[in-house]
Amino acid sequence: MEPLRIVLYSHDSLGLGHVRRNLALAHTLTTHLPALIGREVTGVLISGTAVAPGFAVPAGWDWVLLPGVDKGPAGYRPRNLALTMTELVSLRAAVLSGVLAGFRPDLIVVDRHATGIHGELESALREARSAGRVRIVLGLREILDAPVPAMAEWARLGGPSVIKGIFDAIWIYGDPSIHDPVAAGEIPFSLRRLIQFTGYLAQGRPTGSATTCMRGPYCLTTVGGGSDGHQLALIAAATHLPPGLGHLIVTGPQMPAKQVLDIRHKASPGTKVLTTVDDLIHHMRHAAAVISMGGYNSVCEIMSTDVPALIVPRTLARAEQRIRAHSLARAGFVDVHEISSLTPDILHDWLLRRAGTAIDRSGIRLDGLSCLPRLAAALLDPVPGRINLRPAKKMKAEVGNIAI
């Protein structure tokens, strides 16, 4: 029987959150979906970030890279090409149509931006649907933005009718007991029938070598991809460490080299500054405490451990990180502090209180990666009783370096 063909799309402008989330999906679908549907999996990861091919993909998968975009004062703009944004969107749309038409996927999962940047993906999705039997899913992190800008974004897409005309389901990667984006006014109520909550994509994330670059007790500071993490990393680097505690700062591969040098120059004794580590999750699990920004993937990795965490959310652009941090803090799973008032002394005091303690995070759904293959199987073959949809056994982390 022919392998099941899957396309995972992420637009990728700032940071690595979208592509890292899709990598986690690729690993779990490849590992667990064949046992449910009786077919192996092959797939394409579509990304707009040039560093994507540096991450390992499962067997049977490959990358398609779109010409890059980034964000300027007036919105999206070409990252490298000397084109107008209209020309770039047209080019990206042509690539997307070609990939979907040539690959003929059985399942498409679109991460976060339903029709892509400036609608670049819409025609390709409609063409794929009209060409044959394909299932199309919109995958959303559990928090989009504050309600007003979130609803404005849905309106720019054309409203709920556009979503209903393209997508078979909406997977929300979160636990509604912590944050329900429909109740919060971030998602139109009329889309509720498409929505399935998966739980956070936390447990079972792919790991790397399971080795550490640190000796003895240490705290860990991570700022995701690093493109907007300089301020937090600099404050963390200047923090005087409690006796006997080392400090690992991972700046991320997207932090400018000049900023990395600045952090290294100002780092306190006992602090090691690296751009990447082979296995960030392993370093988190063995840390005495974690200091992090509030991006979805970083928070999921933290929540898969019992290590105390201080979340310092991004305050520019979307309100997403702040909402996430405070929602989890209210539930008792993390601590939170705003970057505007954070100082090295405050971090020192927090480390004195929290380092080496353990946090019980059992009261939250963290099993999204084991849930997704069952949701995908039911979508691909919805005949009742033909697919085993019983909860999967606890998943072991699969090998594949997606740490940053």
Interval 3-42: pLDDT, tens: 999 999 999 887 788 999 999 999 999 999 999 999 999 9
Residue 359: inside a domain, yes or no? no
pLDDT value for 208: 77
Give the least confident one: 67-71, 164-168, 199-203.
67-71
pLDDT digits over 285-316, tens only?
999 999 999 999 999 999 999 999 999 999 87
The phi, psi pair for 168, rounded to 5°, reads: -90, -25
Amino acid at position 239, single letter? T
User: Under 8 Å CB-to-CB from 297, ≥6 apart: which residues?
Assistant: 16, 17, 20, 21, 24, 201, 224
CB 226 within 8 A of CB 393: no
pLDDT digits over 349-380, tens only?
999 999 999 999 999 999 999 999 999 999 99
pLDDT digits over 208-231, tens only?
778 889 999 999 999 999 999 999
Residue 391: inside a domain, yes or no? no
Say if residue 79 is in the same domain as residue 193: yes
Q: Which residues pair with 285 in a beta bridge?
A: none
Say if residue 223 is in the same domain as residue 312: yes
Say if residue 180 is in the same domain as residue 227: no
Residue 387: inside a domain, yes or no? no
Residue 360: inside a domain, yes or no? no
Say if residue 246 is in the same domain as residue 308: yes
Q: How many CB atoms lie within 10 A of CB 136?
A: 20
pLDDT digits over 234-245, tens only?
999 999 999 999
User: Alpha-carbon torsion 172, 175, 180, 181, what sign?
Assistant: negative
pLDDT digits over 283-292, tens only?
999 999 999 9
Residue 401: inside a domain, yes or no? no
The single residue listed with the structure tokens 């996430």 is: 324
Rounded distance between C-alpha atoms, residue 43 and residue 59, angstroms:
9
Say if residue 249 is in the same domain as residue 138: no
Query: Tokens standing for 325?
Result: 């941090």
Say if residue 308 is in the same domain as residue 371: no
Mean pLDDT of the chain: 92
First to last CA, the chain: 37
Domain that holds residue 286: 218-354
**Domain containing 296 — which CATH number?**
3.40.50.2000
CB 394 within 8 A of CB 366: no
Residue 395: inside a domain, yes or no? no
Say if residue 235 is in the same domain as residue 331: yes
pLDDT digits over 92-143, tens only?
999 999 999 999 999 999 999 999 999 999 999 999 999 988 999 999 999 9
Q: H/E/C letters for each residue in the chain?
A: CCCEEEEEECCCCCCCHHHHHHHHHHHHHHHHHHHHHCCCEEEEEEECCCCHHHCCCCCCEEEEECCCEEEECCEEEECCCCCCHHHHHHHHHHHHHHHHHHHCCCEEEEECCCCCHHHCCHHHHHHHHHHCCCEEEEEEECCCCCHHHHHHHHHHHCCHHHHHHHCCEEEEECCCCCCCCCCCCCCCHHHHHHEEECCCECCCCCECCCCCCCCCCEEEEECCCCCCCHHHHHHHHCCCCCCCCEEEEECCCCCCHHHHHHHHHHCCCCEEEECCCCCHHHHHHCCCEEEECCCHHHHHHHHCCCCCEEECCCCCCCCHHHHHHHHHHHCCCCEECCHHHCCHHHHHHHHHHHCCCCCCCCCCCCEHHHHHHHHHHHHHCCCCCCCCCCCCCCCCCCECCCCC
Say if residue 371 is in the same domain as residue 332: no
* Closest of 124, 177, 181 to residue 147, by C-alpha: 181
Say if residue 95 is in the same domain as residue 165: yes
The phi, psi pair for 7, rounded to 5°, reads: -120, 130
Say if residue 153 is in the same domain as residue 126: yes
Query: Tokens standing for 89?
Result: 């969107």
pLDDT value for 383: 57
For residue 392, pLDDT over 50 is answered with no
pLDDT value for 404: 27
* Closest of 334, 243, 320, 326 to residue 284, by C-alpha: 334
Say if residue 165 is in the same domain as residue 33: yes
CB 275 within 8 A of CB 260: yes
Q: Which residues pair with 346 in a beta bridge?
A: none
Q: How many CB atoms lie within 10 A of CB 82?
A: 7
User: In terms of pTM, does the model score above 0.85?
Assistant: yes
Total number of domains in the chain? 2
Query: Tokens standing for 219?
Result: 């705290």
Give the model's confidence band at 321: pLDDT under 50 very low, under 70 low, under 90 confident, else very high: very high
Say if residue 133 is in the same domain as residue 238: no
pLDDT value for 317: 76
Greater pLDDT, 72 or 189:
189
Residue 210: inside a domain, yes or no? no
* Cα angle: 192, vertex 193, 194; to 5 degrees: 90
pLDDT digits over 46-94, tens only?
999 988 988 889 999 999 999 999 988 888 999 999 999 999 999 999 9
For residue 162, pLDDT over 50 is answered with yes
